[in-house]
Amino acid sequence: MKTLRSLVFLAVFLPSTGAGAQQVVILGSGNNSCGTWMEARRENGYGSLVHQAWVTGYVTAYNNYAVDQDGNVTAGTDADGLMSWIAALIPWIPFSKPAVP
């Protein structure tokens, strides 16, 4: 879970900049603000499911492609725990996007 915190922190607070930065296209819910994510979570409807599916897909892809990890960045928790952790983090970064290239 410590690695996941580091991953999210870096993704939110250190967006890529500079001449050598690669432009990354982010599709889906990763383009919405964290505040939008929380609003959908409060409404607990279809939008919330879409956001949760995007997050779990993002983390699953990270687990698959991160060569410095053991394949389970969320070790010690499940999807509900991950969503709760993100919900606790979002009030600190309401205008950020879940995935910042």
- Tens digit of pLDDT for each residue in 52-79? 998 899 888 888 888 777 888 888 889 8
Task: State the pTM of this model.
Answer: 0.65
Q: Please check whether residue 100 lies inside any domain of the structure.
A: no
> Containing domain of residue 30, as a range?
2-92
Number of domain units in the chain:
1
The pLDDT-based confidence of 18 (bands split at 50, 70, 90) is very low
Q: Please check whether residue 101 lies inside any domain of the structure.
A: no
Q: How far apart are CA 82 and CA 98, in angstroms?
A: 13
Q: Please check whether residue 99 lies inside any domain of the structure.
A: no
Confidence (pLDDT) at 16 = 43
Which amino acid belongs to residue 2?
K
- Percent share of the chain, pLDDT over 70: 72
Q: Please check whether residue 54 lies inside any domain of the structure.
A: yes
Q: Report CA torsion sign: 1, 77, 89, 61.
A: positive
